Amino acid sequence: MAESPDGSGPLSAPRPLDAIDQDILQMLQADGRASIRSVAERVHVSRANAYARINRLIEDGVIRGFGARVNHERAGHGTSAYITLKIVQNSWRTVREQLRQLPGASHIALVGGDFDVLLLVHTPDNRALRELVLTRLQAIPEVLSTRTLLVFEEEDLEPQG
């Protein structure tokens, strides 16, 4: 069973999403600032129904929040890297909390395979990346080893509207 986003415990089983819910999700992924009115018109329901559906999606944890998709290079963080970590067995929760505090950490995943954790970071330059890996990451006692994969080019695959 999945854990709640705040790490406080397991999520309840998800409610099934109908076609209207799926359409609302697609719309909001493309434009998180879409008005209730435009959502309602696009999926052919009343504004009250659209509002209730969006609130239910938020309460159920389907929608985790609304945010901007950032061009990290234009925002002054032109160096991106995936960093793989091998960690001490059963230390995921401790390591995750420490990784959340890292400047530029964008995505953290517990994975199976040759390594335990996959971390995506965005830093201003290679010097900052080196500092992050050698000084911050490798100083975490539960981190046994790291491997850094420099990103040459990336593309956001989220719906663009």
| DSSP 8-state symbol, 47 | H
Indicate whether 111 belongs to any domain: yes
- The tokens of 54 are what? 């969006």
Same domain, 45 and 83: no
**Final residue of a domain: which of 11, 29, 59?**
59
Q: What CATH number should be reported for the domain holding residue 52? A: 1.10.10
Indicate whether 67 belongs to any domain: no
* Alpha helices in 79-133, H assignment, sequence order: 92-100, 126-131
Largest CA distance in the chain: 55
Same domain, 88 and 147: yes
Order of strands across the sheet with 143-151? 105-110, 117-123, 79-87, 143-151
Same domain, 49 and 113: no
Indicate whether 3 belongs to any domain: no
For residue 71, name the pLDDT band (cuts at 50, 70, 90): confident
Q: Which domain holds residue 55?
A: 19-59
Q: Are 10 and 4 in contact (CB under 8 A)?
A: yes
Q: Convert the pLDDT of each residue in 27-51 to its tens digit.
A: 998 888 999 999 999 999 999 999 9
Indicate whether 160 belongs to any domain: no
Same domain, 44 and 90: no
Same domain, 86 and 143: yes
Indicate whether 1 belongs to any domain: no
Give me the chain's average pLDDT, please: 91
Indicate whether 10 belongs to any domain: no
Same domain, 90 and 26: no
Q: What is the pLDDT of residue 2?
A: 54
Q: What is the pLDDT of residue 3?
A: 58
Strand partners of residue 146? 85
By the 10 Å C-beta count (0-12 exposed, 13-18 middle, 19+ buried), 143 is classed as buried
Indicate whether 23 belongs to any domain: yes
Q: What is the mean pLDDT of residues 116-136?
A: 97
Number of domains in the chain: 2
pLDDT of 1 higher than 50: no
- The tokens of 132 are what? 């992050």
Q: What CATH number should be reported for the domain holding residue 85? A: 3.30.70.920
Measured CA distances, 39 to 67, 97, 156, 157 (Å): 17, 36, 23, 22
Sign, CA torsion 120/122/126/132? negative
Indicate whether 159 belongs to any domain: no
